[in-house]
């Protein structure tokens, strides 16, 4: 632990976590409330990215539909809220259960395919969920629905931005801890080994399909948690939160941060949001009106990362020894 703090990676990670832990205090001191809401979204997206990394990064299962779990978690909360069930003690377990069950079901079907077929079938399921969401006229259809935040009476008030932020941050820390246990457990070793050689893992006596299904289900549950948080962050649900572009963004984040590394999803999310927020004003400074075209800079940057920094941001922090 102490030794890890002496490497560039350890120092950078510790600094990031410190700044994130203190963010509500910092934004209050500098009177930048707007930054706290970006910070909250970064944390929530990081949890989603950690969950996708568990299957994509460690397991080579390239799911191109992970944002559907934003939708499942978010809509479960939103629909219950619309019917007057506002207690988080009911909403959250129901949402988690829904995400878990859905992940198990589509995992059962999609994990029978490999490679491009797996990408396409996960995308297809995500589109299915998306169109069901936009077809739910009672819950706002395409326009989405304003909801009230989950209530945990006597415990925490999610309307308080700082409290909500710290809850998300605590859940992110828990997700990272869980992911590190997962990656280094025997279960995780089977998932990681099967990524490079599925047949070999089978010949060693492991039913790879079942292991992958379990991992996919766990990742879906954690993705559902990020959906619950995302719905509460904006007090709003809409099909847009689970569009295929959001699934693409999650993949971009993981590639950017470093696939199959513990903190890669966190680095990637921060880089993604910072670039998204900072590039437009910077470009506007160069020439008024250029800010709108920030993707022109962002796209080639991703290409450069893919070409020259295969391990993403994580690899720029030095060689790994673990």
Partner 1 sequence: MLKVRDLDAFYGPSQALFGMELAIEAGQVVTLMGRNGMGKTTTVHTIMGLMPARRGTVEFEGARVDGLPAFRIARLGLGLVPEGRQIFPNLSVRENLVAASANRTARPNPWTIARVFEFFPRLAERQRNMGNQLSGGEQQMLAIGRALMTNPKLLILDEATEGLAPLIRQEIWSCLARLKSEGQAILVIDKNVSALIPLADRHHIVEKGRVVWAGSSQALAGDKDLQHRYLGV
Chain centroid offset of residue 227 CA? 9
Shortest reach from residue 204's CB to partner 1, in Å: 5
Rank residues 300 and 318 by Cβ distance to partner 1 and give the closer one.
318
Count H helices and E strands in the chain, helices first: 13, 2
- Dihedral sign for Cα atoms in the order 69, 23, 274, 157: positive
Distances 74 to 28, 36, 107 between C-alpha atoms, Å: 28, 21, 20
Q: Cα 282 vs. chain centroid, distance in angstroms?
A: 27
CB of 113 to partner 1, least distance (A): 18
Please identify, using beta-carbon distances, which residue of 96 and 201 lies nearer to partner 1: 201
Cβ burial 101-110 (10 Å sphere, 16+ → b, else e): ebbbebbeeb
Pick the closer one to partner 1 by CB: 209 or 298: 209
Are 109 and 63 in contact by the 8 Å Cβ rule? The answer is no
Least gap, CB of 183 to partner 1 (angstroms):
10
- Report the greatest alpha carbon distance in the chain: 62
Binding site for partner 1 (CB under 8 A): 186, 189-190, 192-193, 195-197, 199-208, 260, 321
We find the least distance from the C-beta atom of residue 7 to partner 1, in angstroms, to be 15
Nearer to partner 1, 158 or 201 (CB): 201
Residue 31 vs 322, nearer CB to partner 1:
322
Smallest gap, in angstroms, from Cβ of residue 218 to partner 1? 18
């Amino acid at each position: 632990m102490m030794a890890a703090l002496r490497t560039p990676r350890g120092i950078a990670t510790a600094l990031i976590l410190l700044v994130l832990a203190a963010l509500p205090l910092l934004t209050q001191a500098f009177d930048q409330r707007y930054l706290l809401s970006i910070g909250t979204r970064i944390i929530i997206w990081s949890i989603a990215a950690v969950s996708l990394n568990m299957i994509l990064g460690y397991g080579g299962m390239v799911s191109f539909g992970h944002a559907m779990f934003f939708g499942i978690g978010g809509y479960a909360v939103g629909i219950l809220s619309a019917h007057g069930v506002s207690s988080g003690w009911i909403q959250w377990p129901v949402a988690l259960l829904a995400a878990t069950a859905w992940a198990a079901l589509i995992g059962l079907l999609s994990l029978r395919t490999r490679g491009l077929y797996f990408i396409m079938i996960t995308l297809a399921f995500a589109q299915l969920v998306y169109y069901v969401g936009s077809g739910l006229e009672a819950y706002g259809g395409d326009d989405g629905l304003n909801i009230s935040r989950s209530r945990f009476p006597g415990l925490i008030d999610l309307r308080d931005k700082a409290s909500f932020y710290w809850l998300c941050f605590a859940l992110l820390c828990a997700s990272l801890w869980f992911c590190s246990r997962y990656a280094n457990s025997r279960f995780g070793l089977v998932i990681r080994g099967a990524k490079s050689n599925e047949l070999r893992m089978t010949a060693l006596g492991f039913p790879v399909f079942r292991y992958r299904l379990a991992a996919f289900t766990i990742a879906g549950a954690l993705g559902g948690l990020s959906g619950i948080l995302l719905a509460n962050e904006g007090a709003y649900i809409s099909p847009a939160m689970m569009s295929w572009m959001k699934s693409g963004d999650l993949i971009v984040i993981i590639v950017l941060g470093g696939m199959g590394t513990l903190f890669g999803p966190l680095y990637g999310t921060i880089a993604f949001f910072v670039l998204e927020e900072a590039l437009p004003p910077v470009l506007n400074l160069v020439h008024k009106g250029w800010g709108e075209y920030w993707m022109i800079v962002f796209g080639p940057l991703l290409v450069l990362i893919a070409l020259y920094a295969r391990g993403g941001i994580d690899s720029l922090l030095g060689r790994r020894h673990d």
